[in-house]
Amino acid sequence: MSVSGAPGPAGPVRAAIVGTGNIARYHVEALRALGRQVEVVAGVDVDEERLAAFADRHELPALFTDLGTMLREARPDLVHVCTPPGLHREQALACLRAGATALVEKPPALSLAEMDELAAAEGAEGPWFATVFQHRFGSGARRLQEVMATGVLGRPLVAICHTTWFREQEYFDVPWRGRWDTEGGGPTMGHGIHQIDLLVALLGEWTSVSALARQQARVMDTEDLSLAHVTFASGAVASVVNSVLSPREESYVRIDFEHATVELTHLYGYGDDDWRVTPAPGREEAVVNAWKAGESGVSSGHRAQFAHVVRALGEHRPPPVTSSDSARTMRLVAGIYASAFERRTITPADLAAGSPFHGRMDGSGPRW
């Protein structure tokens, strides 16, 4: 594939990685697992020692300490942006302007305003912007979407989306963590966002949110806990909890449909066995048969998403999770903060361009 950002059918997707810290390993390993569909052509980091160690371990062919130089010299089709969140906007824009599709780690940017800017920089035929939200891509989530579409589960009525994780105070010693200006938020934006994205992928547009956020135990700028209830256009309602204070860690999503309860219990990724389906009385056969017939065998994770990203690029389609899908998830995150800090129910209209929570997740400033 030679034309940056709009790869043709011939040859592998040429991918580069920017930011060779903790998460980058998952990227390079997942890309290599895709075999000859992808060639990892370069790595970039401002920390030369870290870059060299990473390159040694993963046999990167070309190393750069500057993104712009890499974009000019290596001319990748696809750039995996694995840097701290405060850099995502600027680096993704640089990739898009150089003609490379940007696949950016969560959170995709710091605000809805930044999301608008990124979407505006895409081309109709590429390059595109996409976010790493890997939990959409395990077979369990895809199977649930298929089964929901058949109608056998009935309407979604009530959902639970709880990300109750544990992070000691030292975790927030890393300079970019726990700050509005570099991470964009606390566990709502940084941790629970994975499951919030999955919830939104399953339940669609939300219409109102009412929330609170607290600094309960950690010393940092952002919240360490948020609780929300969300109403969806379908009429479903959901409880959303995001915590970094919970010694027994768990990621839990539950949707009670008219004809079955579907539950997912995991921590940082799930397989098929982490899903449980409980049919309502009289619905056993229909629900169980539909569930058994769906996709299976794929764990949620970077590899699962990248397979879809690479396929989409090969077919000249925007890769998932697209800029508009990402913006929808970010809008719910912004809605949670807006409701918590303004102490009122928020609708998507309250987050329009020009409103405080469109520009920053904490609105106009400190809230505690």
Ligand X SMILES: NC(=O)c1ccc[n+]([C@@H]2O[C@H](COP(=O)([O-])OP(=O)(O)OC[C@H]3O[C@@H](n4cnc5c(N)ncnc54)[C@H](O)[C@@H]3O)[C@@H](O)[C@H]2O)c1
Q: Which residues are at the interface with ligand X (CB under 6 A)? A: 18-23, 44-47, 50, 67, 82-85, 87, 105-106, 132, 134, 190
Q: Least distance to ligand X from the beta carbon of 321, Å?
A: 11
Nearer to ligand X, 12 or 108 (CB): 108
The CB-of-229 to ligand X minimum distance in angstroms stands at 26
CB-wise, 67 or 78, nearer to ligand X? 67
> Residue with CB nearest ligand X?
21
Question: Least distance in Å: CB of 30 to ligand X?
Answer: 11
Q: How far is the CB of 245 from ligand X (least distance, A)?
A: 19
Q: What is the 3-state secondary structure of the chain?
A: CCCCCCCCCCCCEEEEEECCCCCHHHHHHHHHHCHHHEEEEEEECCCHHHHHHHHHHHCCCCEECCHHHHHHHHCCCEEEECCCHHHHHHHHHHHHHCCCEEEEECCCCCCHHHHHHHHHCCCCCCCCEEEECHHHCCHHHHHHHHHHHHCCCCCEEEEEEEEEEECCHHHHHCCCCCCCCCCCCCHHHHCCHHHHHHHHHHHCCEEEEEEEEECCCCCCCCCCEEEEEEEECCCCEEEEEEECEEEEEEEEEEEEECCEEEEEEECCCCCHHHEEEEECCCCHHHHHHHHHHCCCCCCCCHHHHHHHHHHHHHCCCCCCCEHHHHHHHHHHHHHHHHHHHHCCCECHHHHCCCCHHHHCCCCCCCCC
Min. distance of Cβ 261 from ligand X in angstroms?
27
Output 165 or 257, the one with its CB closest to ligand X.
165
Residue 147 or residue 244: which is nearer to ligand X going by CB? Answer: 244
Q: Minimum distance from CB of 173 to ligand X (Å)?
A: 12
Q: Which is nearer to ligand X, 23 or 63 (CB)?
A: 23
Q: Which is nearer to ligand X, 17 or 148 (CB)?
A: 17
